[in-house]
Structure 1
C-alpha cells in the first residue's frame, strides 16, 4: 500500500492551537490541491482526535473530480478511515454519513457496546490490535478491502505512529504564514517522539502556494517496499 501523509502546519510546525480547535492554515490553492489528492486516493484516513475536534467529511468537493471517479468505475468518494482505539467516534459524526464507506479501526479492548453503536451508525468496524490499533495490522486490513493508495490527513498522534511503524511513503506539508506557538499545541508528529532511528526524508519539491510554501518529501527506504 502507498501511504501519503499530507498536512498543513503553521510556520512553527503546529497543526492547531493549544485548545485543539480547528485552525484555518491553508488557502484556496492548497484546498484544491488536497481535493485532487483525495480524488486520486482509495481511502482518506484520520485519527479520532481529528474527528472529535473538526468533524470532517473527508469527501471530494469538486464535482468534476467526482464525475471522473464515477467514469473510471469508482465510487464518487474514497472510503474514509478513522483510527479509533477506544471507539470514541460519535454516532452523529459527519464521517459516518452515507456519502462513502467508512472503516473505523478499533482495538480488541474496545467495549462491545461501542463497536455495536458504531456499526449501527453506519461504520464498518475493523478490529486491528489488542489494547490500541496497530497501524500495520490496520493497513493490512484496509488492503484486504481494496485500498491501495491511502491519504492520511492527521492528526499528529496518527502520523507519528505511522512513521514509527515505517509505513509512510510520501509526506507533503503546506506551511502557512502564521505562528501559533504553545508547548501543548499539536505538531505534525506527536506521540513519544524519536531519540534514534529518525525517519529520513528526501526532498522532492518546493513550491509557493497561496501565501505559504508546499514541501514534498519521499521517505527513504519505502518506495520500493510499498
Structure 2
C-alpha cells in the first residue's frame, strides 16, 4: 500500500480559518493536479470532520480522466473512504451517493443505529478499534479489499494520526500566498502533536504552481 497525503495550506500553514470554513488557497493549476492525483488513486480518504465541515463529493471532475479510468478497467471514480470513529457521517452526505463506492471506518463505540443507517445508505463499514478507529487495522482491511494507492485529503486530525502510526509514504503540500492566522485555525497535522521522535521527511521536489509552491516529500520514518 502507498499512502499519499495531499493538502493545500496558507503561507502560515493553515488549512482553513478558525471558523473551519473552506477557503480557496490554490488556483486552477493545482485543482487540475489534485484531480489527476485522485484519478491515479484507488481510494480518496478523509476524516469525519472534513465531511461535516465541507460535505465533499471526492470524485474525479475531469470527464477525460474518468473515461481513462474506465478504459483501464477501473470504476470511473476511486473509492471514497471516511475515517469516522463515532459514525457521525450524515446519511445525506455527498460521499454516500452512487457516484462511487464508499467505505466508512468506524470504531466499536459507534452507535449501532448510526452504523445501520450508513449501511442502509450503501456504505461498506469497516469496524476497527474500541473507542476510535485503529488506523493500522482499518488500512489493512482496505488493502485486503484491493485498495493499494490511497490519497488522503485531510483533515489535520487524521493526518496527524496517520503520521503517528507510520502510515504516510508521501506528503504533497501546495503552499499558497494567503495568510490566514488564528491560534485555533486547523493546521496540516493537528492532534496531540509530537514532543519527541518526530517523523522526518525527505524533500523530493519543489515546483512553482499558480501563485504558490508545491512541495513533495517522501516519508523517512521516525
TM superposition score normalised by structure 2: 0.99
CA contact (8 A) 2:103 2:123 kept: yes
Gaps of 5+ in 2: none
What number of residue pairs does the alignment pair up? 222
| Alpha-carbon distance, 1:122 to partner | 2.0
Aligned residue in 2 for 1:54: 54
Query: 1:16 — aligned with what?
Result: 16
The equivalent residue for 1:68 is: 68
Structure 1, residues 1-33: CA drift from partner, whole Å, max 9, x if none? Answer: 100000000000000100101111110000000
Aligned to 1:163: 163
Counterpart in 1 of 2:101? Answer: 101
CA distance in 1, matches of 2:55, 2:221: 34
Aligned position for 1:213: 213
Deviation at 1:125, TM superposition (A): 1.2
Q: Which runs of 5+ in 1 are unaligned?
A: none
Could you say which residue in structure 1 is the equivalent of 2:186?
A: 186
The answer as to 2:45 corresponding to 1:45 is yes
Q: How many angstroms does 1:221 deviate by?
A: 4.1
Distance 1:128 1:8 in 2: 29
Displaced runs of 4 or more, over 4 A: none
Quote the Cα distance in structure 2 between the aligned partners of 1:26 and 1:46. 19
CA–CA distance in 2 between the matches of 1:122 and 1:186?
31
Question: Which residue is 1:3 aligned to?
Answer: 3
Structure 1 residue matching 2:19: 3-state secondary structure: coil
| 1:184-217 Cα deviation digits (max 9, x unpaired) | 0000000000000101000000011001110000
Cross-structure match for 1:124: 124
Q: What RMSD, in angstroms, separates the aligned Cα atoms of the two structures?
A: 0.9
**What SS does the aligned partner of 1:81 have?**
strand
Give 3-state SS (helix, strand or coil) of 1:126's partner. strand
Shift of 1:36: 0.3
Rounded to whole Å, the distance in 2 between the matches of 1:102 and 1:187 is 26
Secondary structure in 1 matching 2:77? coil
Determine the C-alpha separation between the residues in 2 that align with 1:24 and 1:125: 32
Deviations 1:25-69, CA, capped at 9 Å, x for gaps: 110000000000000000000000000011000000111110110
Task: Indicate the residue corresponding to 1:79 in structure 2.
Answer: 79
1:25 maps to 25
Q: Matched residues in 2 for 1:106 and 1:115: separation?
A: 8
Separation (CA, whole Å) in 1 of partners of 2:138 and 2:58? 19
**Distance in 2 of aligned mates of 1:121 and 1:71:** 28
